[in-house]
Every structure is written in C-alpha cells, then in structure tokens.
C-alpha cells in the first residue's frame, strides 16, 4: 500500500489526518497556510521529515495566494510566513532545514524574476523537498536492510514510517525494504504514550503491509528483551547533534539503555536533513513540552485525579554511546561520534 501523507492538489494541500487513524483514513484539505500551521501543532501531520515538508508546502501555498505584487511587501509576507512556521514545533530540525531551503530558493530567484515567477519557484522547491524525501527514504531502506537478517524480531518506537515522512519511512522504510527483499520478520511496536503513535500509526502501517506486528505498552520493553524476544531495535530521529546524540520520541532513551544492557543492537534511521551539525551535543537540542492534558487524560477521558499536575516532554535525547549505528542515505555511521558524523557531509552542502 502506498501511503502519501502530504500531497499538493488543485484545491490545496491535502493531509492524511493522523489523529483519526487507525479508526478512519480521513483526508483534510488545507486551503490556507494557517490550517497547515495548526495541523503541525495539533499532530494532524507529524514526524520530523513530514513536518518540514508540510511547512514548505504551507509556505508555498501562502505565497501562491498573495495578490500584492510589490517586491518589498511580497518579501515581507514571505518572511512573516517563514517565521510563523518555524515556531510550530521546536525539536525536529527538519522544520528549520526545510524553511532554510525555501528561503534560499526565494533569495536565489528574487532579483531575477517577478513575483509570479517567484511563486512558481517556491511551489517547485516545496514539491522537490517532498519528492526527494521519498527517494531518500528508499535509499535509507536499501542501505539499512542489510542489517535485517531473515526471521528477525525487531522493536521500534513511535512512528517513523510513511506517515512521518513524504512516504515510505525511515525506520519503517528499512523494515519495508527488507520485506521487499523477501525477508521475514516480526515487529514489536511500543505503543508510545501519551499520543500512541506506535499503537495507532505504526501498527496500522505494518498491518497494511502484511508485516506481522505486536503492540506492547512502553513499560514492557525491558521484560521482552530479557525474554530474548528482540534481536534489533530501530527508531527514527527528530534531531541528531554533530556528535551523534539523538533526540527522538520520549521513551527512546529508555529503550537504548535497555538494549545496551541486553546486548541488542540499537539503530537510528534518519535522513541527513535530521542532522544538525550546528550543535555540539544533545544538550543543545530544544525539547518540546506539550500540553499536560495529553498525559492527564486518555482520548478525552480524565485518568488522573483533578488537581494533580503532569510533565509532558515530547522527546528525549539518547547519548551517542548507546547507538550502534545511524543509517542515512549516505551510509551507516557506526559508533557515532563527532568525527564520523561529520564525515557524512564531506562533499555535500548542508
């Protein structure tokens, strides 16, 4: 099944409503950039690469609709729109990476063309970001599939699948690619409290692909590792610091520590757009704190006594020492460190 969570149609930018899954495969059409802003904030569209793509398409959509052809005012509207999108979610660096690409496109074309042509360039750039992401995921999948042997049991966390990207996925892309090569596997998906990206989205994707899957609550991971049920852990990433420290969905760090204790390889799969070479370590990664209602209630029903507070960091940081390797479109970085992460960028511009 081909899952494309974000598409550009004549009516607007169409998103799979990830809040409605797995109950309903519903699409929402955003005809105004503010609708895409809200969709990013409220997790209608989520996952690091998908957030970047949605922002790029949102900026393009907003600019295509501008009637004012005065160059100064056109630029001002563009800057405001970029600023608005950059404030939606702080942890995934793919967001600012995609906005930077849109800004570069604007700057490269603004003195050569009129506003009408600039609109065409911005839309083209946003769609290129989308299409490139799918190709990159396929490449990550192909590179990473060598780590998956036949009849393996894999643990994953959150959703790093087609839904979290332009399509195909990063961690799930590796699993998909191995499956396409005819390998058999069983995937354990952590449910991923509080928003259940694992139970709702990863389980849905795996089921749609016919890949055998079992959902566990997050606190079962240690026990099933001890039981010898897990051969490999593979997760996605929201931001990777230049030394390899990796921010991903809350609970990932716990899995990495448990994996080390049980001598289970722990891999991260992510595009180079997730690597923030501008920061030295995970200490510098901003961690989004979401509304505590996500923890205090479950699907709208309060599960904790009124008057009790909650803490809701959406991500954690796994120190690089716990990571066996980072799978990217340029290869696998084993034992990630400043030196071998930066080697990935030799000959490329970031």
**246-249 vs 152-156, strand pairing mode:** unpaired
Decide: is 49 part of the binding site for ligand MRU (CB under 6 A): yes
DSSP three-state, residue 331: strand
Interacting residue with ligand MRU among 238, 245, 276, 329 (CB under 6 A): 238
Binding to ligand MRU (CB under 6 A) within 248-267 occurs at 248-249
Name the catalytic one among 133, 218, 238, 316. 238
71-86 vs 48-64: helix axis angle to the nearest 10?
A: 160
* 147 Cβ neighbours under 8 A, 6+ residues apart: 174, 232, 234, 265, 267, 325, 327, 332
Decide: is 48 part of the binding site for ligand MRU (CB under 6 A): yes
Of all residues in the shown chain, the one whose CB is closest to ligand MRU is 236
Nearest approach in angstroms of CB 317 to ligand MRU is 12
Closest CA to 231 of 167, 150, 173, 145: 150
Q: Which CB, 185 or 255, lies closer to ligand MRU?
A: 255
Nearest approach in angstroms of CB 344 to ligand MRU is 17
Distance CA 119, CA 116 (A): 5
Nearest approach in angstroms of CB 117 to ligand MRU is 33
- According to DSSP, residue 335 is labeled S
Q: Give the E-state strand segments of 119-183 in sequence order.
A: 152-156
CB 213, CB 206: distance < 8 Å: yes
Q: Which CB, 92 or 148, lies closer to ligand MRU?
A: 92
For residue 316, CA distances in Å to 78, 237, 271 come to 33, 10, 19
Interacting residue with ligand MRU among 5, 47, 90, 198 (CB under 6 A): 47
DSSP three-state, residue 215: strand
Q: How many residues bind ligand MRU (CB under 6 A)?
A: 17
Site pattern 301..320 for ligand MRU (x: CB under 6 A): -------------x------
Return the residue matching tokens 């996952």: 47
Interacting residue with ligand MRU among 44, 96, 145, 170 (CB under 6 A): 170
Active-site residue 133, yes or no? no
Q: Which CB, 78 or 253, lies closer to ligand MRU?
A: 253
The conformational region for residue 43 under phi > 0 = left, psi -120 to 50 = alpha, else beta, is left
Interacting residue with ligand MRU among 130, 143, 237, 268 (CB under 6 A): 237
Stretch that binds ligand MRU, among 28-36, 65-73, 234-242, 334-342 (CB under 6 A): 234-242
Binding to ligand MRU (CB under 6 A) within 92-111 occurs at 92
Distance CA 234, CA 252 (A): 10
Residues carrying an active site annotation: 238
Binding site for ligand MRU (CB under 6 A): 46-49, 92, 158, 160, 164-165, 170, 197, 236-238, 248-249, 314
């Amino acid at each position: 099944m081909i899952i494309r969570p974000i598409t550009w149609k004549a009516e607007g930018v169409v998103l799979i409503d990830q809040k409605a899954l797995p109950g309903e495969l519903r699409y929402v059409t955003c005809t105004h950039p503010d609708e895409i802003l809200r969709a990013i904030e409220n997790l209608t569209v989520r996952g690091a690469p998908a957030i970047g793509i949605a922002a790029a398409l949102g900026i393009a959509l907003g600019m295509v609709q501008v009637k004012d052809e005065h160059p100064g005012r056109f630029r001002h509207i563009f800057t405001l729109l970029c600023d608005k999108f950059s404030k939606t979610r702080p942890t995934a660096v793919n967001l600012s990476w995609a906005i930077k690409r849109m800004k570069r496109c604007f700057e490269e074309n603004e003195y050569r063309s009129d506003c009408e042509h600039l609109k065409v360039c911005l839309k083209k750039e946003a769609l290129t970001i989308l299409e490139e992401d799918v190709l990159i995921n396929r490449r990550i999948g192909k590179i990473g599939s060598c780590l998956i042997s036949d009849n393996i049991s894999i643990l994953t966390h959150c959703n790093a699948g087609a839904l979290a990207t332009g399509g195909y996925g990063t961690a799930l892309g590796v699993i998909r690619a191995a499956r396409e090569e005819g390998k058999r596997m069983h995937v354990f998906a952590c449910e991923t409290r509080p928003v259940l990206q694992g139970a709702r989205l990863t389980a849905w994707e795996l089921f749609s692909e016919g890949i055998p899957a079992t959902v566990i609550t997050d606190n079962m991971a240690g026990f099933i590792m001890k039981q010898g049920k897990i051969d490999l852990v593979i997760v996605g990433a929201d931001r990777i610091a230049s030394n390899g420290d990796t921010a991903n969905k809350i609970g990932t760090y716990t899995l990495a520590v448990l994996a080390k204790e049980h001598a289970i390889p722990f891999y991260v799969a992510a595009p180079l757009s997730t690597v923030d070479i501008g920061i030295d370590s995970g200490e510098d990664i901003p961690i989004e704190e979401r509304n505590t209602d996500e923890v205090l209630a479950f699907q709208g029903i309060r599960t904790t006594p009124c008057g009790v507070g909650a803490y809701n960091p959406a991500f954690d940081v796994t120190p690089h020492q716990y990571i066996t390797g980072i799978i990217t479109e340029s290869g696998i970085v084993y034992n990630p460190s400043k030196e071998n992460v930066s080697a990935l960028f030799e000959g490329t511009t970031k």
